Amino acid sequence: MHIYYFSGTGNTKVIVDKLAESLHNSKKIESESKQRINKKSKRDNKDISRDKSYIETFKITLFNKDTVVKLPTTESDQINHRTVIVFPVNTHATSPFIWSFLKRLPKAKGEQLYIIYTYNNSAAIGKSIQRMVKRKGYDLRMLTGILMPNHMISDPEQAKDNESRLENGLKLCTEIVSDIKSGRTRIDYKTNGSKLLSFFNRNTPLVWGGSMRLFFKLNVDHQACTNCGLCVEECPVKNIKVKKCKAKSMSENENTQRSIQSMLKHKGNCQMCMKCLANCPMKAVGIKGNDKISLVQ
């Protein structure tokens, strides 16, 4: 089995951790930030020993805009191979780089495919995914969504609702694992939302790079930022760069100053996945004028 996933604010990562834990009853996947710090770790691919009575190996890949799915080449491996794709849905669709990843799926010869998406508001993408993978020759065994917390919290009641969503989402994940192990088919995606908005939002970054950034402009606190480069490396669309600037001092408090010779800059292809905000160890990335974000831990 090979799981390909992307997680921005943490919802999808929680589900992938739960899948891994339930499938092979092992330790949770090491957080990406820790893997970045440990240069000896391989962030994108990780083999995990499995119970040989079920699946011999279990691989997990965090995908980005350049990742390509690889299928087995031998007939025996093709029969037993299972590909699982887990990703977030937002703003009536999914990010263009995620949609491109799905469109780049290689031609198959009946290999089993399981697709799970996390969502806050469902989007009209289920039928499009179903048609796409059918044309490519996959045996689609699962296409389902898991309702997860809304990170843009505006009131205490929403926080309580988020706790319930997380609890129910993890319970549903257990049911999904049971379906995978037993070979049951689960096609129960939600189709709410505008088909027109879904089409444009998943096929062009203009919506994300333009109108979305008017309301949710990412801001870097250069006093808190240490230029560790984690966000630059983890951005799935390579939209963050280090901009050199004239050396200057910025106050951290009344008694200390720090010399700043470079600053982080978000370019124009941001797709608002919020991964830089969620993973910054110094909490230096935020949304300008909006501090009401609660991330899944």
On the question of pLDDT at 103 being above 60, the answer is: yes
17: closest CA among 60, 81, 70? 60
Q: What is the pLDDT of residue 281?
A: 92
2-198 folds as Rossmann fold (3.40.50)
Report the predicted TM-score, pTM, of the whole model to 2 decimal places. Answer: 0.81
Residue 125 above 60 pLDDT?
Answer: yes
Tell which wins on pLDDT, 133 or 290. Answer: 133
Rounded average pLDDT over 39-61: 52
- 191, 86, 82: which is closest to 141 by C-alpha? 82
What tokens were used for 244? 């050199």
Name, in order, each residue with C-beta under 8 angstroms of 149's C-beta and a sequence gap of 6 or more: 11, 120, 162, 163, 165, 166, 294, 296
Q: List phi, psi (to 5°) of 79.
A: -65, -40
Domain with CATH 3.40.50.360 in the chain: 2-198
- At residue 66, does pLDDT exceed 50? yes
- What number of residues does the chain have? 297
114 — pLDDT class (breaks 50, 70, 90): very high
Q: Where in the chain is the domain with CATH 3.30.70?
A: 207-287
Q: What is the pLDDT of residue 215?
A: 67
**Beta carbons within 8 Å of 32's beta carbon, 6+ residues apart:** 43, 62, 234, 279
CA atoms in the 13 A half-sphere facing the CB of 136: 21
In this prediction, residue 160 carries a pLDDT of 81
- State residue 202's pLDDT score: 80
How far apart (Å, rounded) are the C-alpha atoms in residues 41 and 78?
Answer: 29
What architecture (CATH level 2) is domain 207-287? 2-Layer Sandwich (3.30)
**Helix (H/G/I), strand (E/B), else coil: 16:** helix
Widest CA span of the chain, in angstroms?
68
216-252: pLDDT as tens digits? 778 888 888 988 889 999 999 998 988 766 555 555 4
Tens-place pLDDT, residues 153-199 = 666 777 788 889 999 999 999 999 999 888 899 998 876 777 777 77
Indicate whether 145 pLDDT > 90: yes
| Lowest pLDDT segment from 32-46, 84-98, 230-244 | 32-46
